[in-house]
Structure 1
Amino acid sequence: MAHFKPELLEQLIEVRGASGNEENIRDFILDYIEKNKKSWKSEVTIHSGEGFQDAIVLIFGKPKTAVFAHIDTIGFTTAYDFNLIKIGGPKTIDGMKLVGSDSQGEIETELMIIEDDEGHKSLKYVFDREIDRGTDLTFKPNFNLTEQYVQTPYLDNRLGVLNALTIAEDLENGAIVFSTYEEHGGGSVGFLGRFLYDKYNVHQALISDITWVTEGVQHGGGVAISMRDKAVPRKSFLNRIIAIAKENDIQFQLEVESAGGSDGSMLQDTDLPFDWCFIGAPEDNVHSPTEKVFLSDIEAMMELYGVLMKELN
């Protein structure tokens, strides 16, 4: 059975990759694949580069099911007069540390929330010069691992990426998709789904992403199988996944929400007849520098994906 690799997770979190600027994390993943694929159970075909933007598709054997894991993160873009503009939906906390780089070198700065007399708030960065316009700034990594949980920025979705890379080790038949732009409205899932459907007749997808701790989904309750968010997956496919989890005695909890989206909802927005389901460990302190996930939930997530990629392919 696959196991959690904290060292690899920490390396993934160190690599910056806000939505629209996924080149470095793409290259890290491709480099990892090249260095490790010889030890994998099956040969892999890698699709990337021209026509794929910064996304990556891995094909093993004769796939019927694809795992989608988005490689981008939330963050901020520098604008004019020390202003910051959000990428996706990051939490904003006065004094939070941000990092990046521009034409003059590496940057470590702090976010400042300014409120005017009318109560309107603006976001600024504190630095001894103006940072180049359009520079991405992301949360400064602060990796904390205990016996019970891991706490760090960007568990969403570096944990999903880690899960996908772990699946690759033992996968005989299946596809793994590293997608982009998920945190800022999508943009790659449509053409990636079309590629899988047209070239390999793949029309089932599992969304390897991280969900939220809520009143109905708790730390330590196991991996969350999402029955719905703003999108509604097909019930027959969902029931099949729940049945497989039960048959294999994997700890899971059912999520039912009215909002939120993922690569799954973006896939549903296409004209492709994909069945899909979001399956991920729950985290607290969402979209902040202190996201927290329990290790037992990560192990349950990896165990369920390992079983599903055997039984659905």
Structure 2
Amino acid sequence: MELLNKLLNIHSVSGDERLMTDFLIEYVNQRKSQWKVQPEFYFGGEFHDCLLLKFGTPKTAVFSHIDTIGFTVRYEDQLVSIGGPEVENGFDLVGEDALGPIKCRLVEIDGDLFHDFPRAIVRGTLLSFAQVIRINGGFIQAAYLDNRLGIYNCLKLCESLENGWVVFSTYEEHGGGSVPFLLKFIQETSPIKQALVSDITWITEGISHHQGVVISMRDQFIPRKIYLNRIIKLALESGIPFQLEVEGSGGSDGREIQHSPYAIDWCFIGAAEDNVHTPSEKVSLLDLDSMLALYRYLMKHL
């Protein structure tokens, strides 16, 4: 779990993903010689803070967003949400401005959000939930399992992947925007017709802990049924535990794939969590293991 611990402790609020990008670049450069296939690696100014890895001759791309929810400091100790964080008086927040490190608490007053740091924080500073990682009883609990587990899944997939794109996107938690230019580059470089979204979904009345990874049949957006049927058939053949999700809200990078000008099938597949968008997101380790296993299987057989 050393890699996951490192991922969970990197600040990467939407719009400020640079620290995560730098970590991923260093990690790939250190580890790629040990992987089954050496990928072509794309990053830099034209990709903003996104990264792309191309293994062999891709048929499928896996997308994982590297940003998190958080808060922007406004005026008079006010905070503005980034994405959709749950808010509760007393949540610990951390960050850093030009004057030094920041650790404070979230204060909600009549629906407005504030911090209690003893000095003014430089306006525009981004704050995130303080990290406390707990692993016990078959669960992991921490802030930002969404989407650190999706990133973790992709990095583990890279170890054995022979053919495919692995794509680390930005901005997903607050409106998206990076996937369109990433898709354009992919389709001009080594085009694909199908994609998987490595992200984290929700525990609901139909989705439980310890029952396997979730294959989403729909959220606010609807994957093409013929592609979904292929994935479910392969999942059944694999023997890996999985659950089927049907929701009417929520979204992911799949939204932007569906809205793109390219005929690319997509499906969201990921472990489910409790306490969504809080400092104590909770995921079953069994479900995480099945997520890792199913991605390995699908990328060999799709």
Across the aligned residues of Structure 1 and Structure 2, the Cα RMSD in angstroms comes to 0.7
Q: Does 1:60 align with 2:48?
A: no
Q: Which secondary structure state, in structure 2, belongs to the residue aligned with residue 51 of structure 1? A: helix
Q: In the TM superposition, what is the alpha-carbon distance from 1:203 to its structure 2 partner?
A: 2.1
Mapped partners of 2:118, 2:93: distance in 1: 14
Q: TM-score, normalised by structure 1?
A: 0.96
Q: TM-score, normalised by structure 2?
A: 0.99
Name the residue aligned to 1:254.
244
Q: In the TM superposition, what is the alpha-carbon distance from 1:161 to its structure 2 partner?
A: 0.1
Mapped partners of 2:45, 2:95: distance in 1: 27
Name the residue aligned to 1:118.
none
Name the residue aligned to 1:290.
280
Contact 1:197/1:203 (<8 A) preserved: no
Aligned residue among 62, 69, 74 for 2:69: 74
Name the residue aligned to 2:22.
27
Name the residue aligned to 1:3.
none
Name the residue aligned to 1:160.
150
Q: In the TM superposition, what is the alpha-carbon distance from 1:198 to its structure 2 partner?
A: 1.9
Mapped partners of 2:73, 2:150: distance in 1: 28
Q: Does 1:142 align with 2:125?
A: no
Q: Which secondary structure state, in structure 2, belongs to the residue aligned with residue 16 of structure 1? A: coil
Letter in 1 for 2:153: N
Letter in 2 for 1:176: V
Structure 2 matches for 1:263-278, cutoff 5 A? 263-278=253-268
Q: In the TM superposition, what is the alpha-carbon distance from 1:50 to its structure 2 partner?
A: 2.2
Name the residue aligned to 1:15.
10
Q: Report % sequence identity.
A: 51
User: In the TM superposition, what whole-angstrom CA distance separates every residue of 1:264-296 from its partner, at most 9, and x where no partner exists?
Assistant: 012111111110000000000000000000000
Q: In the TM superposition, what is the alpha-carbon distance from 1:180 to its structure 2 partner?
A: 0.2
User: In the TM superposition, what whole-angstrom CA distance separates every residue of 1:128-170 from its partner, at most 9, and x where no partner exists?
Assistant: 1110000000000000011401000000000000000000000
Letter in 1 for 2:29: E
Spell out structure 1 runs of 4+ moving beyond 4 A: none
Name the residue aligned to 1:83.
78
Name the residue aligned to 1:180.
170
Aligned residue among 208, 211, 219 for 2:201: 211
Name the residue aligned to 1:310.
300
Report the count of equivalent residues.
302
